[in-house]
Amino acid sequence: MIFSNLSQHDRYTVLHPLFQGAFDYIRDTDLFALAPGRYPIVGDDLFAIVEQVPGKTREMAKLEAHRRYIDIQLVLEGDEQMGWKPLADCLNPVSEHSAEKDIRFFHDAPASWVAVPPDHFCIFFPEDAHAPLVGSGQIKKVIFKVAVGPA
């Protein structure tokens, strides 16, 4: 997991060939004007999902993990907390991995929480279970789904 301010994004573009495309999209797009939904950037290899939802309590949040995609989660409005735990330490799955939705949920509690204010982002790799959308009030964010390998 990586937590950083948007002003530091250049440090992370070397980690994956599609990360630059995500950060270019952030720079070139009025993200605040986007309605909730899915926005293709590079087909199924890189796309954005805009969410605007009420925050959940820590007790309501479930850890989730993905196999095919890396998440870059950028908070636009609201104060969000995101839980984290190494996937290898998650021992209590809710169900099997859904290949269709590329997600698996866990009953395990996060090992730590990070406060993610606007203009900050977290990058979650497949080995990072994460519990997003914890906070009070409305949270507006963009999740960039970056394919681990070619689709």
pLDDT at position 149: 80
**Token digits of residue 69:** 């995609």
Q: Which of 81, 96, 75, 84 is nearest to 127 (CA)?
A: 84
Q: Are strands 46-54 and 138-147 parallel, antiparallel or unpaired?
A: antiparallel
In the predicted structure, residue 85 carries a pLDDT above the cut 50:
yes
**Token digits of residue 88:** 């290898």
CATH code for the domain of 75: 2.60.120.370
pLDDT at position 1: 97
Residue 7 lies in domain: 2-147
> Is residue 132 a contact partner of residue 56, using CB atoms and an 8 Å limit?
no
In the predicted structure, residue 151 carries a pLDDT above the cut 50:
no
- Quote the number of domains for the chain: 1
Backbone angles phi, psi at 6, to 5 degrees: -55, -30
The predicted-structure confidence for 3-51, as pLDDT tens digits, reads as follows 999 999 999 999 999 999 999 999 999 999 999 999 999 999 999 999 9
pLDDT band at 150 (very low <50, low <70, confident <90, very high): low
- Region of residue 31 (left: phi > 0; alpha: psi -120 to 50; beta: else): alpha
